[in-house]
Structure 1
Amino acid sequence: MNNKATHKADILVVEDQLDNLKLLSNILWDEGYQVRQAIDGEMALIAIDTKYPDLILLDIKIPRLDGYQLCQTLKAKETTANIPVIFLSAFDELWEKVKAFEMGAVDYITKPYQAPEVLARVENQVKLSLLQKQLKAHNNILQRQLDLTEAAQEFHGQPQIDAYLLHQAIKATYNGIIITDATQSDNPIIYVNPGFERMTGYSLEEVKGKNCRFLQGNDRNQPEILYMKTCLQEHRQCFITIRNYRKDGSMFWNEVSLSPVKDESGKLVYYIGVQTDVTVRKRVEEERQRYEASVQKMNQELHELNTKLHRLANLDGLTEVANRRCFDDCLEQEWRRLSREEKPISLILGDIDYFKRFNDTYGHLQGDDCLKQVAKALSKGVHRPADLVARFGGEEFAVLLPNTPAFGAMQVAQKILEEIRQLQIPHKASQAKPYVTMSLGVATVIPSLDLPPKTLIDTADGYLFQAKNQGRDRAIDGDSP
């Protein structure tokens, strides 16, 4: 996506299936979106109330509050009614799609998720949402301009507001108002309104003639104070939020707008400060930050759990190399990739010689230890990240070598044989050697989508059979005599 504005969109993904949640989040993260996650309806409501997202991807079948109920709740509230919702479901029936739109959804994405479809539908809704926000902001500007025009026309020709009415307006405002004398070096206070007195607990008589710094007490090491000093030196306006302290010592967050006032000759004579107590807003922001930190921690824990589950699902528990499921998936992926690139793939299929006799002689515990050592030796024989060592079943192992020609595969096979021989695991029941050995079948093909990946396995298995018939402890391929 080329529109950088869409990259900043905040998207809430509500999905209780962790694999799907991870998949959608990764698709969106890779495109630069800000992604938050929720695994049920109640968690989603908390996330939405904390910070309104730009878009919600909402699974229909989630616990505690299903997708239809959650969407209906959002559309019933004025503050959340305009948040676009894309439903996630298999949508096996037409009525499900119709109901999704009746609940207020703007679109739907069907399972299983396809990255191009997800990104296309998300980008479309984000762009529409952005255009609607821009249009609303533009309308607000036009409305303010219209209001000012009408006000000017209403009071056109009437006398200006007199000083008394202006003074009464300043007294009545809820904000704190401070006026300081800019003609004196320390900018002493010459006036504060009742709003300031209510906010700070100090009366005009108590603060008159003082510099405003007394409001910071001993908490002067705030970067905003340095910025305010710079603005005062340069006679320009500033807007800051700082910690101030009331007469009773309690702290409050003070949002201050400080403006210079000049006389008709251009000489600086006063500073006017408008103060707003934003302590409640600050607390809400802090709560939001704590929530986001908590969500981030939860997301990290989910990621670590997913990684652990993925690792457990793809590793053989005994040997800690890849299991048969992982091997099959990897072979399928590499077969498709190398079919497009028209490059070779090699497979080494190995069997520990006379392993049944080993178990019968030394016991199954020793047999398990033997399998572990052989797996480590196989792993030492490969070096590239793309190469895969897997337990194929029982005492059988497989080594998948993508983009490897036949001569390279045989070099790896010979390296593996040597690594296993160096283990010198005693095997007095073997007819090959007095230690554990292995027979290997090596096959190399250029994959084709017209052929199943099993073709490579069957070919390697045939060469493995030949290796056993020729005396074992050897590697056989198509070029072997």
Structure 2
Amino acid sequence: MKTNFYKNQSLVLIVDDEPFIRTQLRLALERDGYQIAEARDGLEALILFQQLHPQIVLMDAIMPGMDGFECCIKLQSLDQGKYTPVLMITGLEDQESVDQAFDAGAIDYVTKPIHWPVLRQRVKRLIQQSQLQKQLEAANQELQRLVTIDGLTQVASRRRFEEYFSQEWQRMARDQLPLSLILCDVDYFKSYNDTYGHRAGDRCLQKVAQAIKDSVKRPADLVARYGGEEFAVILPKTEMQGAAILAEKICSVVRKLAIPHSNSQVSGYVTISAGVAADIPQPGSDFQDIISAADRALYQAKIEGRDRFQLSNKQSTYNFSIPRWGA
């Protein structure tokens, strides 16, 4: 095992059982400013790879013990391995060996005796391609995050809500398990904006969203911004009773924020109303029904005086709310 490191340079892992070949490769690549790590066989290569995370691997195909083909396959199974190009170096030029190299996960190959200008160009090109691929994947991940996260409140977006709800509805239908939905609406929010201004309104929504998010503990539960001042909570594997407990908690924690709202007809602070619906989805059914049920329950909560939650049984709304806090 041999390493030679300089800062801010790409690291090349050379894997070959012949010291002379490793030395030739190292000297050729050091001229182009690469860092070099050397391994004498496939097993040592796997250890070094996980320790050093090289930008490219130059792999001899024929080695005793674990050959280059087997080592390449094992590298691809590692998390970092799927992003790291492997350039196979082989004395075999038959079609079967070439196919075997690519089947093992190699990106390209060069044959012995090595044509050094070709090798250097391929190393440079493969590193550049790998770096561009990583940058593209990072950009795509960030774009996906921006699409699925509401920019103001940093909870899930309406688009993510619909995608996730559809996914969980189908999963619960397949497993015949309950799914609950809570729809929340900030009480008298238009009046709040008119009184305190839109910037204050944005800050209010951010605080409410965070309070709702903090109330939801399970990883599978999703909090989303459903509309302007509306939020939704998807609760897989949850019956009405469990959803009701959470809805009461959400109403309570928002109230405890004590955000002043002088024009609220409920109290002097910002409050929310919530509608709760639950169902065991049936295969092929439409999840819009449970959304409508939760929306009707939310409307009933507003009629009943706001700052409360109301339960629905899908088609009609239970006349149920817990006495509230001197509203």
In structure 2, C-alpha distance between the alignment counterparts of 1:406 and 1:383, rounded to whole Å:
17
Partner of 1:469: 303
What's the counterpart of residue 309 of structure 1?
143
| One of 228, 232, 253 as aligned partner of 1:394 | 228
| Cα distance, 1:30–1:333 mapped onto 2, change above 3 Å | farther
* Residue 405 (structure 1) aligned to one of 219, 229, 239: 239
CA drift of 1:294 comes to 2.4
Report deviation, 1:365.
Answer: 1.2
Q: Which residue of 1 aligns with 2:271?
A: 437
Moved more, 313-322 or 342-351: 313-322
2:219 pairs with 1:385: yes
| Offset of residue 423 of structure 1 | 1.1
Deviations 1:116-163 (A, max 9, x none): xxxxxxxxxx9xx55xx9xxxxxxxxxxxxxxxxxxxxxxxxxxxxxx
CA offset digits 1:153-176 (Å, max 9, x no partner):
xxxxxxxxxxxxxxxxxxxxxxxx
- Are 2:249 and 1:418 equivalent residues in the alignment? no
In structure 1, the residue matched to 2:51 is: none
Letter in 1 for 2:166: E
Q: Which amino acid aligns with 1:455?
A: D
1 CA distance for matches of 2:71 and 2:275?
51
- The Cα offsets for residues 292-347 of structure 1, whole Å up to 9 and x where unpaired, read as 33222222111111110000111111111111111000011101111010001110
The Cα of 1:418 is off from its aligned counterpart by 1.7
Letter in 1 for 2:280: I
Distance, in Å, in 2 between the alignment partners of 1:462 and 1:36 is: 50
Secondary structure at the aligned position of 1:360 is classed as helix
Shift of 1:288: 3.2
Q: Which runs of 4+ in 1 moved over 4 A?
A: 5-9, 29-32, 34-37
Report the CA distance between 1:446 and its aligned residue.
0.5
In structure 2, give the amino acid aligned to 1:357.
S
SS of residue matched to 2:226: strand
State the match for 2:210 in structure 1: 376
Q: CA deviation digits over 1:418-469, x for unaligned, max 9?
A: 2211211100111111000000001110011232010110010111011101
- The structure that has the greater radius of gyration is 1
Determine the C-alpha separation between the residues in 1 that align with 2:272 and 2:283.
32
1:7–1:31: 8 Å Cα contact kept in structure 2? no
| Structure with larger RCO (C-alpha < 8 A, sep 6+) | 2
**How far, CA to CA, are the matches of 1:308 and 1:454 in structure 2?**
30
Q: 1:458 to 1:304 in 2, by over 3 A?
A: same
Q: 1:321 to 1:36 in 2, by over 3 A?
A: closer
| 1:403 to partner: Cα distance | 1.0
- SS of 1:393's equivalent in the other structure is coil
Q: 2:249 & 2:293 partners in 1: Cα distance?
A: 21
Aligned residues: CA RMSD:
3.7
C-alpha distance in 2 between matches for 1:343 and 1:437:
32
**Pair 1:344-2:202 in alignment:** no
* Paired AA for residue 308 in structure 1: E
Structure 1 unmatched ranges of 5 or more: 10-28, 38-46, 53-78, 83-125, 134-275
Which string of whole-angstrom CA distances, capped at 9 and with x for unpartnered residues, describes residues 392-412 of structure 1? 111111011111111111121
State how far apart, in whole Å, the 2-side matches of 1:398 and 1:427 are: 22
Out of 120, 143, 153, the position equivalent to 1:319 is 153
Aligned to 2:33: none
In structure 2, the CA distance between the partners of 1:30 and 1:477, relative to structure 1 (3 Å rule), is: farther
Q: Assess, with a 3 A threshold, how the Cα gap between structure 1 residues 392 and 30 changes in structure 2: closer, same or farther.
A: farther
- Check conservation: 2:83, 2:134, Cα contact below 8 A: no
Structure 2 residue 171 is the aligned partner of structure 1 residue 331:
no
Contact 1:351 1:438 in 2 (8 A): yes
1:82-106 CA distance string (max 9 Å, x none): 7xxxxxxxxxxxxxxxxxxxxxxxx
Aligned match of 2:291: 457
Distance of aligned partners of 1:380 and 1:36 in 2 relative to their CA distance in 1, 3 Å threshold: closer
Letter in 2 for 1:299: Q
Q: Does 1:446 align with 2:302?
A: no
Question: Does structure 2 conserve the Cα–Cα contact (< 8 Å) formed by 1:380 and 1:416?
Answer: no
| SS of residue in 2 equivalent to 1:398 | strand
Q: Percent identity?
A: 42
Q: Which amino acid aligns with 2:234?
A: L
**Distance in structure 1 (CA, Å) of the matches to 2:155 and 2:230:** 12
Residue in structure 2 matched with residue 248 of structure 1 by the alignment: none
- TM-score calculated relative to the size of structure 1: 0.43
Partner SS, residue 181 of structure 2: strand
Opposite residue 351 of structure 1, the aligned amino acid is D
The 1:337/1:31 distance shift into structure 2, 3 A limit, reads farther
Distance in 1, matches of 2:221 and 2:210, equals 14
Q: What residue is the counterpart of 1:168 in the other structure?
A: none
- Structure 2 residue corresponding to 1:364, chosen from 161, 182, 198: 198
Query: Structure 2-normalised TM-score?
Result: 0.63
Cα displacement (A) at 1:369: 1.1
The letter of the residue matching 2:129 is V
Q: Residue by residue, what CA displacement relative to the aligned partner does 1:170-228 show, whole Å, maximum 9, x if unpaired?
A: xxxxxxxxxxxxxxxxxxxxxxxxxxxxxxxxxxxxxxxxxxxxxxxxxxxxxxxxxxx
Q: Distance in 2 between matches of 1:429 and 1:347?
A: 29
Cα distance in structure 2, aligned partners of 1:397 and 1:359: 17
Summarize the alignment of residues 149-228 of structure 1 with structure 2, pairs less than 5 Å apart: none
Q: Which amino acid aligns with 2:246?
A: V
Q: Distance in 2 between matches of 1:7 and 1:355?
A: 62
Any idea what SS the aligned residue of 1:358 has?
A: helix
- Contact residue 318 and residue 368 of structure 1 kept, 8 A: yes
Residue 289 of structure 1 and its aligned partner are, at CA, apart by 3.4
Question: Which residue identity does 1:433 align to in structure 2?
Answer: S
Structure 2 residue runs without a partner (length 5+): 1-68, 104-111, 313-317, 321-327
The 3 A distance-change label for structure 1 pair 7 and 355 is farther
